[in-house]
Chain A
Amino acid sequence: GQSLEQPSEVTAVEGAIVQINCTYQTSGFYGLSWYQQHDGGAPTFLSYNALDGLEETGRFSSFLSRSDSYGYLLLQELQMKDSASYFCAVGSNTGKLIFGQGTTLQVKP
């Protein structure tokens, strides 16, 4: 089957850098993606890694190591509006897309 693990909570201060890790188990791995969800809202897509390495999109970067079944989301220059839940998700060649349980990020002034 498929499973993902990520920390349940992370706290950081404004302007800092935070890394949210995700380890996964899946067969037929296709890619790892990250989503942000604010309270009361739907998840919104942040980034996607199909190959090893770092993908950068503005203040957010995502990394994947397929050999380690591991990835992370890096958020730089944290802002108060970054307080939200962050989910990693893995896709497989069966078409399934499975999400982790989510990491609640609290950004403090």
Chain B
Amino acid sequence: DVKVTQSSRYLVKRTGEKVFLECVQDMDHENMFWYRQDPGLGLRLIYFSYDVKMKEKGDIPEGYSVSREKKERFSLILESASTNQTSMYLCASIPGGNTGELFFGEGSRLTVL
């Protein structure tokens, strides 16, 4: 079965802390994505990656960075967490050259106090 695993379902952090959200997929997919989801705003793309060590900014990259050192792993980093980054974060993957079925992880709900 296809699987995208996010390391933490729930996190609580303090303002200014560095936060790592990890995502691993076992499908050998080339493309991986990080979205954040907030009520009424849908899913907004933060960053995506189409290959190891490659990354592209999405629509809301400010305050975030990403790392893709291995094909199966895509990490989202908040260098200095702020309260407006309190959100649900969703990782997803898809085979290269395909814009059809995204496979999502279960999500990581981050609260920044």
A residues lining the B interface (CB < 8 Å): 1, 8, 30-31, 33, 35, 42-45, 48, 50, 87, 89-92, 94-102
Contact = CB atoms under 8 A, between A and B. Distances in A.
B1 interface: no
7 contacts: A8-B40, A30-B99, A45-B100, A50-B99, A89-B43, A95-B56, A101-B41
Interface residues on B, range: 20 to 34
B74 interface: no
A48 B105 contact: no
A90 to B, nearest CB: 8
B43 A33 contact: no
Contact of A95 (B35, B48, B100, B103): B48
Contact of B99 (A1, A33, A42, A102): A33
B66 interface: no
Contacts of A50: 99-100
Nearest to A85: B42
Which 6 pairs across A and B sit closest by C-beta, in order of nearness?
A91-B99, A101-B42, A48-B100, A99-B43, A42-B104, A30-B99
B61 interface: no
Contact of B50 (A43, A45, A95): A95
Contacts of B102: 33, 35, 43, 45, 89, 97
Nearest to A48: B100
A98 B59 contact: yes
B42 A99 contact: yes
A92 B59 CA distance: 14
Contact of A42 (B31, B56, B105): B105
B21 interface: no
B90 interface: yes
Interface string B80-98: 0000000000101010000
Given A33-B99, A95-B50, A100 B42 contact: yes
Nearest to A35: B102
